[in-house]
Chain A
Amino acid sequence: MSLLRRLERVLRPDRHNAEIDEELAFHLAMREEERRRDGLSEEEARRAARLQMGNPVAQREATHEAGIARWLEVLLQDLRYAARVLARTPALTAVVVASLALGIGANTSIFSLTYALLLRSLPVQNPGELYALTVVQPAGSGFPAMVEGNDAVTYAMWEGVRQRQQTFSSMFAWGPAALESAEGGESRPVQGAFITGDTFPTLGVGPALGRLIQAADDRTGSAPVAVLAYDYWARAYGADRGVLGRALILDGKSFTIVGVTPEGFQGLEAGAAFDVAVPLAQEPALRGRNSALERRNHFWLGVAGRLKPGVSAAAASGQLRSISAGVMEAARPDDFRSDWAESFAKQVLAPEPLSGFYSFAREKLRTPLLILMGAVVLVLLISCANVANLLLARTAARRPEMALRVALGASRGRVMRQVLTESALLSLAGAALGLAFAPMAARLLLQAFSPASATVSLNVRPDGTVLLFALGVSVVSALLFGSAPAWRASMSAPQTGMRVAAGAAGHGRLQASLVGGQVALSIVLLTGSVLMLTSLRHLMKAELGFQPEGVLLVDVEFPDRVVGPEQRAAFEESLLEALRRSPGVRSAAATAVTPLSGASMQMPATVQDLDGQQRQVHSQFHYVTPGYLETLRTALVAGRDFAAGDTATAPKVALVNESFAKRAFPGKSPIGRQIVTRIGLSPNGVTPVREEIEIVGLVRDAKYRSMREEPQPTFYLPIAQRKEPLRSVSYVLRSEGPAELLTSGVRAAAASLDPRLTFTARVFSTQIREATLIERFVSSLAAVFGGLALLLAAIGLYGVLSYQVAQRKGEIGVRMALGATPGDVRRWVFRHLGPTLAAGVALGVCGSYLAGLAARGLLYGVAPGDWKPYTWSVALLAAVVVAAGWLPARRASRLDPITALRHE
C-alpha cells in the first residue's frame, strides 16, 4: 500500500471507515439471506445475523485499527532496528550526523534570515489587504537621485493621496526620526517614527500594554503622547508595566508614554524597527524650523493602506493611476527646474503588497542573502553526496546481512524501507543538532551584517515555518543520500550477496560519479569565494582620493534648544577651534557630509565657459571649511584651497574635482571659470536663488557616497558661504597617533562649549570597513563554505579511493607480480579517477560562470568571465585531490603482492 494511502487512512479515517462499513454491511446481508434460506422470518434472520456478527461499531474499529496498528508497529520495529544498526558503528554515525547537522543547520540559519527579511509577513490583521504606495517615475526621468529610497513621498503628496483615493478603507503614513531621549540626565539616541493616527487601527495591531496612538492624538494641539516598541520597552525599561503615564523627553520635549506595541511587531519596515513612535502632528514641535511638513522637496514618508473589502489590487492600481496627475500637480515642489517638474508631474502612483515588507535594508541585503542561500544549498548537496558515499560503503559491508534478510523472506521493498528508515533517522538527528545551533548562528550572522552605527533588528526566532523548512530539508536530504544505498541494498541477491565482497565495479562507478558531483559543486563554491575575495581586494585597493588612516570623524548635532540659528555659525567655528587645540590633533576641519557614509548632496550645476557658452553638469557637492583637503590628504592639483578670507560676505568661491573639470571644461583649466547654481531657497522658501561662483582650485577625484562609485563630477563650497541650514555638522580630525586616542579630547572640547552637546565619534578606517561590510561578510562566509566544500570533497575522495584499493587488492597484486613499480600503482590509482574529476571540473566551471553572472552585482573589479578565479579554484582542488588520494595510493603501492593475491 502506498505511503499516501496509508497517511490518508491515519489522517482521514472516515473514508476508510466507510469502506469497512460497506464491507461489513455486505457480510451481514449475506448472513441474513443464509438464515432466511434456513427458514427464519426476515426479522429473526436479521437478529440472528447481528448476534453472530457482534457490535458493528466495535467491529469497524477493530478492523480499522488492525491495518494502522500493524503499520505503526512495523515502523517502530524499523526505527528500533535502525537505531541498533547505527549504534553499532558510532564513529560513522557521528560523522554522518555531524556533516548533516552542518548542512541542515547552515541552511536553516540562512533561511531564517532570508525568511525574516524577505518573506515573513507583518504581524497584522489580513496582511493580504495591505498595500504600500509606490511612486513610479517616468522612463528617462531627469529627476536626479536627490531622494533617499524611491518610494518615499513628501507630506504634500501624502495629503493629496489621502484626499483623492477611493479604494482604500484607510491609509496611513510614517517617517523615520532620529531622536534623542533624555531620562535621568543621560541622553541617548533612539530610533523614532512619526506615524499618522490611522496607522495602528489600519494595521489592526492592538497594544500589549496601555493603548496605541489614535486618530485623536494626531491633531495639531493634541497632548504629546508616545508609544514604545515592545523590544525597546523590554530593553530600556526592563518591561516595567509602570511606564504608562510616565514622561519621556524626546529632543527636549516631553511626551507621555501611553502604550506598548505587541511582541513580534517589528515596525513597518524589515530591518528598521522603531523604538518610540509619536504622532506625525508632533513633528513641527520637535523639528521646529526644520519641519518637513511644509517642505515640498523633502521626500521622507512611507505610505500604505488597507483596501476596501472586495476591491482588487488591479482596481486600486487603476484608481491611483487616475489620481496621480492631480496629486503631483497639487504637490509640485515650486523650486524644481522645469524638466524636473515635468518628470515630477508624470510620476504615477501604484500599490505594492505590503505583506512581505519592503525596505531599504531588504533591497540591499536581498542579493547577498540569496547568494548565501545558494551557497548553503551547495554545501548541503555536497554533504549529502558525502553521506551517500559513506552509506554506500557501509551497504557493501552489510551485504551478507541484507542477503540474509532477503533469503528469510523480506521483500525488496521491505529492505529498501529499512535502509531508508535508517537514512531518515540519521537525517532527523542531523536536523535536530542543526536546529540547536541555527538560531545562534543566525543571530551571529545578523550581528556581522549590521554596521555598528545602526542595529538591524529582525525577528529570527525559529517559528513554525522555519521548523517546517528544517524538517523539509532533512526529508529531502534523507531521500537524496538514502536512495542510492537503499536501492543498492535492495539489489542484494541472496546467492551473490552471501559470498563476501564479490566484484563491485558498478558500485565504484556510482561512488565515483558522486565524487564527480562533489568536485563540481566544490569548484562552484571555491570559484565563488575567490571571486568575492578578489572583489574585496579590489575594493580595498581602490583609489579613495584621501587617506582615512588616523582620521576621526565626529558628528555633532546642534539642536535649537542648545544653539539658536543666529549663533549657529559662530558656535560651529568655536567648536572647530576647540577641537584644533585639543591634544594630539594635527589638523581639523568641518564638513556637512562625511565621505563614504552612503549619503551625498547633489545638484545640477550650470557652468559658464569663457566664451559665455553654458553647459549643465549634474554634480555632487560638499560644504567644507578650509583645511578639509589637508586633513583628509586630498591632493590640490592647481589653484588654491579655501582660506579664512572666504567668508559669507566675501566673493563666492568653489573647488572642483578632476572629473568635474573634464566634464565641464574638456581640455581646459577650470580655474577662474564660473559655476552658476541654485544654492538654496530665498527666505520665502519658494524662489530658487542662483548665483555665480568662481572656481579657485582643482582637486584630485575622491570617493564621496560609496566605495563602488566611479569618480563623479564634484565641487566643494566653503561652509561659511552656505545658504541652507545644516542640521548636523561633522568634523574631521587628523591625529598624530591612532585616531581612537582623540576621543577624550573631543569630549572635553565639546563639554567646554556646552555640556548639552551630543556627538558620535567614528574612526574613519572603521567606517570604511563598514562600507564594505556586505562584501566582507559574503566573502568570508563564501570562503568558509568553500573550505567546507573542499574538506567534504577530500573526505569523499579519500573514502572512494580507499574503498577501491581495498576492493582491487587482487588486481593490484597481479600488476605488481607482473612487474609494476610502486610508482606505476600510484599512478594507476589516480588515473582511475581521471575522467570523473575532469567531468566534475568541467561541470563546476560552467556552474561557477552561471553563479558569477547571478552575483554580478556584488563583484567589483573582476568579471564572471575572468579566468584567474577558475585557475585558482581548480588548482586548489587539484592540490586537495592529490592530498586526499595520497594515502590510499601509497597503501596500494606498498601492498605485498603475495598477501594481496592470497586475499583474492
Chain B
Amino acid sequence: MGRETDRLQGTLDLLVLKTLDSKGTLHGYGITVQIQQVSKEMLRVEEGSLYPALHRMAEEGWISAEWGVTENKRRARFYSITRAGRERLREEEANWQRVTAAVALVLGQA
C-alpha cells in the first residue's frame, strides 16, 4: 500500500471516527450527511471509498457494525466507535495536528 493512499485513507478514517465519536451510532449515509453539514459543505465524502473504508475499519476493530432500522422503518447498517477506535482517533488527531502545524510553519516561513 503506497504512502499516498495511506494518508488519504488516514484522513477519511479520521473524519469517520471523529463523526462517530461525537454523534454516536450512524449509518453510512448518515456519516456522509454529517461530515458535509459540519464542514459547511466544504468536505464531500467520496462515496466510492466510504464503504470499503467502513468495512476495513470494522475489520480493524475500530468501529462495530450492526443491522438496525431507521426512523422511516428501513433496514440499514449502523456503525459506532469502539474503545480501540477512540484510541486510534486520538492518535490520528495528534498526527493531524502535527502535520498541519508543520505545514503552517512551512507556509509561514515562505
Contact = CB atoms under 8 A, between A and B. Distances in A.
A409 B87 contact: yes
A85 interface: no
A27 interface: yes
A312 B55 CA distance: 52
Given A23-B51, A26-B76, A53-B47, A66 B87 contact: no
Contact of A22 (B55, B75, B88): B75
Given A52-B47, A59-B48, A59-B51, A30 B29 contact: yes
User: Which of A31, A63, A65 has the most chain B CB within a 10 Å cutoff?
Assistant: A63
A67 interface: yes
Nearest to B83: A411
Contacts of B27: 26-27
B59 A71 contact: yes
B51 A29 contact: no
B84 interface: yes
User: Which of B27, B53, B76 has the most chain A CB within a 10 Å cutoff?
Assistant: B76
Contacts of B88: 409
Interface in B79-110: 84, 87-88, 91
Contact of A67 (B28, B49, B55, B75): B55
Contacts of A91: none
A66 B55 contact: yes
B61 A63 contact: no
A24 interface: yes
Q: What is the size category of the interface that chain B forms with chain A?
A: 20 to 34
Contact of B51 (A1, A24, A70, A411): A24
B77 A411 contact: no
A54 B51 contact: no
B56 A66 contact: yes
Contacts of A70: 56, 59-60
Nearest to A1: B59
A31 B48 contact: no
Given A24-B51, A26-B74, A31 B56 contact: no
The majority secondary structure among interface residues of chain A is: helix
A70 B1 CA distance: 11
A65 B58 CA distance: 13
Contacts of B55: 20, 63-64, 66-67
Contacts of A234: none
Nearest to A60: B51
A63 B52 contact: yes
B59 A66 contact: yes
A532 to B, nearest CB: 54
Nearest to B72: A33
Contacts of B91: 409
A13 to B, nearest CB: 13
Interface string A28-58: 0111000000000000000000001110001
A409 B85 CA distance: 11
Interface string B29-72: 10000000000000000011101111110111100000000000
A258 to B, nearest CB: 63
B58 A67 contact: yes
B29 A27 contact: yes
A646 B58 CA distance: 99
A62 interface: yes
B29 A31 contact: yes
B51 A63 contact: yes
Contacts of A27: 27-29, 47, 51
A472 B59 CA distance: 27
B72 to A, nearest CB: 9
A409 to B, nearest CB: 6
Nearest to A54: B48
A29 B70 CA distance: 13
Contacts of A409: 84, 87-88, 91
Nearest to B87: A409
A62 B51 contact: yes
Contacts of A58: 48
Nearest to A49: B47
B31 to A, nearest CB: 10
B61 A54 contact: no
B51 A20 contact: yes
B76 A23 contact: yes
Given A26-B28, A409-B91, 15 more contacts: A19-B77, A23-B28, A23-B76, A30-B29, A31-B29, A53-B48, A63-B52, A63-B55, A65-B52, A66-B51, A66-B55, A66-B56, A71-B59, A409-B84, A411-B61
